[in-house]
Structure 1
Amino acid sequence: MFSTLIATWMTVVYKPLYNLVVFTYNLTPGPSFGLTVLGLALLIRFLLLYFTLQGYKHDKMLAEVKPQIAKIEHDDRLSPKDKLQKIGNITKPLGISPFASSVPLFSQLLFLGVLYQIIQVGLTPSGFSNLYSFIGHPSSFNTDFLGFNMARPSLILAMVAVFLLFLERLWEYTEKKDVLRTSFSQIWDPLIWPAGSLILLLVLPSAKAIFLITSVAFSLTIKSIVHLTRR
């Protein structure tokens, strides 16, 4: 069964994305693996823009009904099942679905997983066996980008990525300042995500940091535009 899962992963997920990465790499000036990661990060965010905007819309709706939900959550007379049912009665007519907001995150995590595998086994000629016949084989992969080696960790790029992520989490945190926070993760949310990301980025290839920088910068830009249009 394990071998079947690996074969499915390679056929359905890894090979298509690997070929997309190599195809994009062949088109970039240089060519450049860093530009490839940056360009694909933007492409993924544009393809998932609908779900991102839906997520912002749902956040706004939830903020409007949050007092009603909070009242239900703190009603000790209700059982957990009754609370879920009553909260569902409030959110269901609004069309709020956690699926919309989770799609961008899941898609990016999936790509980051494949990107790590590509850096480990796909940048050398031995990995070219996974290329489709119509995709040109690069003579080699240029992993240098802005003075950084995309195949190795970078403290500077990790710090930049974490700082942008902190700004994004802090923005969302302040937008929901009226929300009652009781758990540790809720209270320290703006710091938990950046801290966890920093630990990972310090040991992972800096291509991940480039992807995160591009993705978060895209999110901040779109969010700024959305806020300006609401005024």
Structure 2
Amino acid sequence: MFEHYIYQPFFNILVGLYEILGSISPDLADMGIAVIIFSIVIRIILFPLTIMGERSEEEKRKIVARIEEARNLYSHEPIRLRAEIKTIMHANARSVIATTANLAIGLAIIIMLYRIFTTGLEGADFYLLYDFVPNPGTINLMFLGKYDLSHTNATLNLIQSIMIFVVEVLAALRSPFPISRKDKAILQIFLPIGSFIIFMFLPAGKKIFMITTLAFSAIYHVIKLLQEWSQKLIDKYSPRPLAEPQGLTLTEASTPSVSEGRSDPTGTNKVLQ
């Protein structure tokens, strides 16, 4: 099922991109360039999920807070606790679905790219090519003539970890919630280091995909940051409307009353007073 519905379509897209680049110019017959284009296409396709995930960030924090509260209240009632957690999850289905979908898609892409660059592009999976996708025979797996995409590469691995750090810093700057030192240490220090160790054993083609994806995320965060900062500047320096004075309006205060404005040549008013 995975091979037929997920792996095969994306494998054909990647090989098709490689063939299109080669038909434009022999110098562009580079699987690394095809992977970069492939990564951008994937991010554009999944962009609605990214937006949905951002919108549900506050909801996720509320879910965590409510679950923690339920654990404190029902720590000695495990059956009641499970029922409460299930109720909380059902009430916030959109956030749960968005998070689960992102994790599932990310895992599927990792498995797919690992197979593509370890065996698929070397010819083992050419039988999965559709009839309208030409068999390339051999594929140039040397990105820029320097990086073998079928083997690991320390330089690309380091660039990937640096990009993870940059994206996490930008995400922290955009976060509407205060981030604790512990979270900063986990996301901005341990996550890049852990990723470097884990991806050390994966082929460089996977790293090209991750670097492109992270660059896409970094550009998105920078654009959103500039929009948010410019909006704050506009709100800060734009003139505010003057508040209307309390009581009489300016017209009422400046218009003399009938008794004050009318002349009294006979002095009748003074006599009456």
Fold similarity call, TM over 0.5:
yes
Q: Greater relative contact order: 1 or 2 (C-alpha under 8 angstroms, separation 6 or more)?
A: 1
Confirm or deny: 8 A CA contact 1:173 1:190 kept in the other structure: no
Confirm or deny: 8 A CA contact 1:150 1:206 kept in the other structure: yes
Partner of 2:156: 157
1:88 shift after superposition: 6.0
Deviation digits for residues 74-122 of structure 1 (CA, Å, limit 9, x no counterpart): 98444475598489669947x7512213423432331231122122222
AA partner of residue 177 (structure 1): P
Quote the Cα distance in structure 1 between the aligned partners of 2:208 and 2:143. 10
Map 1:92-107 → 2, pairs under 5 A: 92=91, 96-107=94-105
Higher mean C-alpha deviation, range 219-228 or range 41-50: 219-228
**Which of 221, 224, 240 is 1:223 aligned to?**
221
Quote the Cα distance in structure 1 between the aligned partners of 2:71 and 2:101. 32
1:215 shift after superposition: 0.8
1:47 shift after superposition: 0.6
Quote the Cα distance in structure 1 between the aligned partners of 2:123 and 2:114. 17
Quote the Cα distance in structure 1 between the aligned partners of 2:48 and 2:179. 27
1:172 shift after superposition: 4.0
Identity %: 23
Count of aligned residue pairs for this structure pair: 218
Aligned in 2, Cα 1:123/1:187: closer, same or farther, shift over 3 Å?
Answer: closer
1:124 shift after superposition: 3.0
Confirm or deny: 8 A CA contact 1:173 1:189 kept in the other structure: no
Aligned in 2, Cα 1:166/1:77: closer, same or farther, shift over 3 Å?
Answer: same
Partner of 1:73: 69
Q: Secondary structure at the match of 1:12?
A: helix
When Rg is computed on C-alpha atoms for both structures, the one with the higher figure is: 2
Quote the Cα distance in structure 2 between the aligned partners of 1:72 and 1:122. 45
Question: TM-score with structure 2 length normalisation?
Answer: 0.66
Q: Secondary structure at the match of 1:138?
A: coil
Is residue 28 from structure 1 mapped to residue 21 from structure 2 by the alignment? yes
Confirm or deny: 8 A CA contact 2:170 2:218 kept in the other structure: no
Q: Secondary structure at the match of 2:195?
A: helix
Confirm or deny: 8 A CA contact 1:73 1:83 kept in the other structure: no
- In structure 1, the gaps of 5 or more residues are 1-7
Quote the Cα distance in structure 1 between the aligned partners of 2:4 and 2:181. 46
Question: TM-score with structure 1 length normalisation?
Answer: 0.77
Quote the Cα distance in structure 2 between the aligned partners of 1:203 and 1:171. 28
Aligned Cα RMSD in Å?
A: 3.4
Confirm or deny: 8 A CA contact 2:67 2:85 kept in the other structure: no
Aligned in 2, Cα 1:85/1:187: closer, same or farther, shift over 3 Å?
Answer: farther
Confirm or deny: 8 A CA contact 2:17 2:34 kept in the other structure: yes
- In structure 2, the gaps of 5 or more residues are 23-27, 232-273
Higher mean C-alpha deviation, range 38-47 or range 15-24: 15-24
